[in-house]
């Protein structure tokens, strides 16, 4: 199979679009318009474009990730405290030591709702 490019595709654009495409081609492919269009079209990923085009989805996703991280940090701090206490007093675990974990149920429920909403939003765009 030959590497020669023998097929031509014609695309109509206005002067502003041509100028924008050409300026990007100048930056990325040293002005080679054909190479730029081939590269752009072959590396196009619809899922990435959809996320970029939906700022609400991006904001919700970032918020959910931050809340999950915060929840993980808090959990680690509590477990570290309990472990240190257990080293000093091995049989001193009290129910009050586990109380902070019960307070996470609201945070976990909020995160679950956000993730379910995100899941539904992503599936509705397909």
Quote the domain boundaries for residue 23: 1-44
As a whole number, mean pLDDT of residues 100-106 equals 76
Instruction: Kindly report the number of other CB atoms within 10 A of residue 25's CB atom.
Output: 19
Backbone angles phi, psi at 43, to 5 degrees: -95, 5
User: Are 117 and 72 in a shared domain?
Assistant: yes
User: Are 70 and 109 in a shared domain?
Assistant: yes
How do residues 5-32 score in pLDDT, each as one tens digit?
A: 788 888 898 999 899 889 988 888 888 8
Q: Which residue has the higher pLDDT, 1 or 35?
A: 35
Look at residue 47 and tell me whether its pLDDT is greater than 70.
Answer: no
User: Are 81 and 37 in a shared domain?
Assistant: no
- How many domains is the chain built from? 2
User: Are 36 and 63 in a shared domain?
Assistant: no
Residue pair 14/7 in contact by the 8 Å Cβ criterion: no
User: Are 53 and 109 in a shared domain?
Assistant: yes
Look at residue 70 and tell me whether its pLDDT is greater than 70.
Answer: yes
Nearest to 48 by CA among 66, 32, 61: 61
User: Are 31 and 73 in a shared domain?
Assistant: no
Cα distance between residue 103 and residue 108, in whole Å: 9
Residue pair 67/108 in contact by the 8 Å Cβ criterion: no
User: Are 39 and 63 in a shared domain?
Assistant: no
As a whole number, mean pLDDT of residues 84-105 equals 79
User: Are 69 and 110 in a shared domain?
Assistant: yes
User: Are 26 and 58 in a shared domain?
Assistant: no
Instruction: State CA 7 to chain mean position distance.
Output: 38
- Sequence-ordered alpha helix ranges (H) in 89-98: none
């Amino acid at each position: 199979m030959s590497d020669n490019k023998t097929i031509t595709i014609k695309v109509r654009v206005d002067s502003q679009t041509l100028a924008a495409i050409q300026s990007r081609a100048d930056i990325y492919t040293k002005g080679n318009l054909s190479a730029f269009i081939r590269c752009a079209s072959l590396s196009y990923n619809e899922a990435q474009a959809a996320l970029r085009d939906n700022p609400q989805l991006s904001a919700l996703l970032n918020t959910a990730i931050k809340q999950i991280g915060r929840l993980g940090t808090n959990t680690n701090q509590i477990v570290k405290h309990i472990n240190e206490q257990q080293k000093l007093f091995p049989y001193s675990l009290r129910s009050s030591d586990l109380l902070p974990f019960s307070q996470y149920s609201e945070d976990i429920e909020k995160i679950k709702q956000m993730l379910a909403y995100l899941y539904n939003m992503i599936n509705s765009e397909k």
